Structure 1
């Protein structure tokens, strides 16, 4: 039996996320993956709690593209190069991939693991002159939502040129 190709469209929908950082910070919130043509906009938001107890709202967004079984991640869909390019591999129903991103003097080593459309996890090992931490995130489907309908909690709108308003 040949390996099954990775397809990000299986992960369209809303997800609950929990993130742990080796510096003691934790994050909890919601993430949403939508489909917009060949792009899969990703948006997350929630609450960040620092090791000191301080709490802040957080959010971030980027775009996924599935290409030949690989997963590409872009900050801006207009850029020609992804900031992460995962060569996805399949093993016993799970797809995983690794990628590296260089940001100035900092290095981000990322690992993504996707399990049969029901959960996924990410890990970023971040090293640099002022950084030395690991961010580990788990995602589980939110109430079984699997379609790409807009949600009141997270809603990414697009202009005609695919930029976020």
Structure 2
């Protein structure tokens, strides 16, 4: 099973979003930097460029905190609110995340480690999209 030290460091990200509600797709390219935070955590900071359809690219950032427990990673938003959790091994669904009337489900795939993937399917009255993020260790 993967642990905190396996994820620490710099990652290159490529994300593809298929928005069924809006009838378009988007692409994100950027990085995620996971830095040690306390005895059992990592701070996750993602930054890059997002492009939807023919619109000009825009800067995009995300921040999370990952807390490692035996066999489990708890993911929280930067403000400390719970987001979801996942098992850092094989291919498995993480916990779901309701957000208002919209619903987020995630599957992680670590079978090609050190490359890995997170696939989110989001459905609800305001959102209907799939987001696939491929993560690859950044060159040193």
**What interval of TM-score do these two structures reach, taking the shorter chain for normalisation?**
0.7 to 0.9
Partner residue, 1:83: 83
* Alpha-carbon contact 2:115-2:136 (below 8 Å) kept: yes
Instruction: Give the TM-score of the pair, scaled to structure 2.
Output: 0.86
Structure 2: gaps (5+ residues):
20-24
Q: Give a deviation string over 1:18-41, Cα, whole Å, max 9, x none.
A: 000112110001111111112210
Corresponding residue of 2:65: 63
More strand by share: 2
Is structure 2 residue 16 aligned with structure 1 residue 34?
Answer: no
Superposed CA deviations along residues 2-55 of structure 1, whole A, max 9, x for unmatched, are xxx331320111011000011211000111111111221001000001112321
Task: Find the counterpart in structure 1 of residue 50 from structure 2.
Answer: 48
1:125-136 equivalences under 5 Å are 125-136=121-132
Q: How far apart, in 2, do the equivalents of 1:42 and 1:124 lie?
A: 17
Q: Report the more deviating stretch, 16-25 or 68-77.
A: 68-77
CA distance in 1, matches of 2:57, 2:80: 33
Distance 1:58 1:45, change over 3 A: same
Indicate conservation of the 8 Å contact 1:10/1:117, yes or no: no
Cα distance in 1 for partners of 2:52, 2:132 equals: 15
Partner of 1:150: none
TM-score normalised by the chain length of structure 1: 0.74
Superposition CA RMSD, Å? 1.9
2:2 partner SS: coil
Equivalent residue number for residue 153 of structure 1: none
- Corresponding pairs, count: 134
Name segments (4+ residues, structure 1) moved above 6 Å: none
Q: Deviations over 1:59-82 (max 9, x none)?
A: 011011111211110014745xx3
Ranges in structure 1 where 5+ consecutive residues have no aligned partner: 146-165
Q: Secondary structure at the match of 2:105?
A: strand
